[in-house]
Amino acid sequence: MNQKERAQCAPFVVYKTLLLCYKFEVNYHVITLFPKAFDSYLNESIISRAIEDKKIKVNFYNPRDYSDDKWKRVDQKPYSGGPGMVIQALPVIKAIEKAVQKIKKNKKTKIKIVFLSPGGKQFQTQVAKKFSKFTDIVIVSGRYEGIDARVKKIFKMEEVSVGPYVLTGGELPAMILIDSISRQIPGVLGNFGSLEETRISAHDVYTRPEVFEYKGKKYRVPKVLLSGHHKKIDAWKLGRKLF
């Protein structure tokens, strides 16, 4: 382990060796019809650096690549009738199988398969912490009217929703999971103290200048934050704590 790796790992020495502390890598395996939708997000800021530092890895599996259709079509009309199209089960099943086969080439793996759905369990920080303990996370991302529900009978999966609303596809929810889970991995944020979930942190934050004027009205930083009185500051933050 080089000096940079030791520095990244230093705040998390809870094991007997630094090596154990540093070896926290999560491999994401995203099942999606639109892998290019992830390009800009994965190539920017903290997530990009995490990939570069080999803290995380993101793999894509397009169900179209596993379709028997001449034109690589994977959607059909729903049996229930109504508008929209449903993604067929078999191309998705084969994509998941491919991901699992790739994962199982490594002996020491711990796999979680996540099925993104508006009807799933609400995704929260505690879920992100739990998922970050897995070496490999398969994220099944749907489109259109959804994926044939029989896929859920083939694999042991956890159904997850990112909120009480419906999106046009599962790509954004998949990015939310990747971001939230990755920040729980030691070294991804550089300083683990940046994790708002692990410290007293308020949703309201302030920086310089202490006072600014806008349209004739002055806006000031709360006096308690300027007091230097740590107990009072912590009490103020607790009243506005995120989690």
Q: Give CA 213 to chain center in angstroms.
A: 39
Judge whether 160 and 126 are in contact, CB under 8 Å: no
SS3 (DSSP) at 100: helix
**Using CA of residue 38, residue 49, residue 136, residue 65, what is the dihedral sign?**
positive
The whole-number mean pLDDT for each consecutive block of 10 residues of the chain, a chain of 243 residues, reads: 49 38 77 96 93 94 93 89 90 96 87 94 94 96 92 95 92 97 88 57 80 91 90 82 61
Please name the amino acid found at residue 157.
M
**What pLDDT is recorded for position 198?**
53
Tokens 């086969």 — which residue?
Answer: 101
**What pLDDT is recorded for position 11?**
42
Question: CA separation (Å) from 187 to 56, 103, 105, 155?
Answer: 10, 23, 26, 32
Q: Which residues contact 42 (CB under 8 A, 6 or more apart)?
A: 48, 51, 58, 178
Please name the amino acid found at residue 11.
P
Note the pTM of the prediction, 2 decimals: 0.81
**Using CA of residue 184, residue 185, residue 188, residue 191, what is the dihedral sign?**
positive
**Structure tokens, 110:** 């711990």
**What pLDDT is recorded for position 34?**
95
> Which domains are present in the chain?
3-192 (3.40.1280.10), 200-238 (no CATH)
Neighbouring C-alpha atoms within 13 Å toward the C-beta of 44: 6
**What pLDDT is recorded for position 24?**
57
**Structure tokens, 199:** 């410290």
